[in-house]
Amino acid sequence: MKELKGKVVAVTGAASGLGRAMALAFADEGMNVALGDVADTSDVFAAIEAKGVSAVAMKLDVSKAQEVEAFAELAEKELGGAHVVCNNAGVSPLGATWETSLGDWQWILGVNLWGVIHGVRSFVPRLMKRNEGHVVNTASVAGIISPPGSGAYNVTKHAVVTLSETLHHELRERSSAVGVSVLCPAYVPTGIADSERNRPAGLEATVKTKEMLARQQMLRKAVSSGRLSADDVAKAVVQAVKENRFYILTHPRIKGAIGARMEDILQERPPRNPMSL
């Protein structure tokens, strides 16, 4: 999609972090914006309208199919329908795989994976009918490598990568003009390290051990010191949509760990810890 001006982008997780940055970056291209988030989007809504484009917003829990469908219908009714869809909402509870609570597994699968599934099911048929558009699914480098201490997060992000690859193949088989990208950033200063603030009631949190608390602090430090900003990543996403580029790898240094994982698979040897490479 080389020409974005006057078209519509729908962004989930739009209140902060990468979602907010993507919404603003696409608005800078002259796109009208549909915003969805469980948190208040009034700040980004005002910033988008100040750019001279239109915006709509709704409180959105992406783990609920009916809400994502209502979000797609809102974009259709108020803005004429989305051309670019950013399935971006995400959370990141930490913990060893056997220590992660059932509630955390349900929460992260609901947002990070089912949120993307619902987004694909609600928006892709509309894009295919128009035979125009682009889907951007936010994964992570944790969808290509497997860092210890974040098993549930890794599971969801690996799933988003393969879902995106499969969607790409399926659209090409149908000769559809709809494009797909999967976003795999490393550490970026966003609010994802504080995602506990949006935990739904009734989902039991993992009991934090000293090791978990130390790892959580390390994550906060790594995220806050990320060399690329959310705005930098958002600009890379806009460029990828224009170029119809599938993989969006914003941190080239991580390619060494990706290559090591591929080599370990091909050589059929135990995986090396990506955090020690």
* Active-site residue set: 153
CA distance linking residue 192 with residue 89, whole number of Å: 10
CA distance linking residue 258 with residue 146, whole number of Å: 10
DSSP track, 1-48: ----TT-EEEEESTTSHHHHHHHHHHHHTT-EEEEEESS--HHHHHHH
CA distance linking residue 232 with residue 238, whole number of Å: 10
Task: Name 33's bridge partners.
Answer: 9, 55
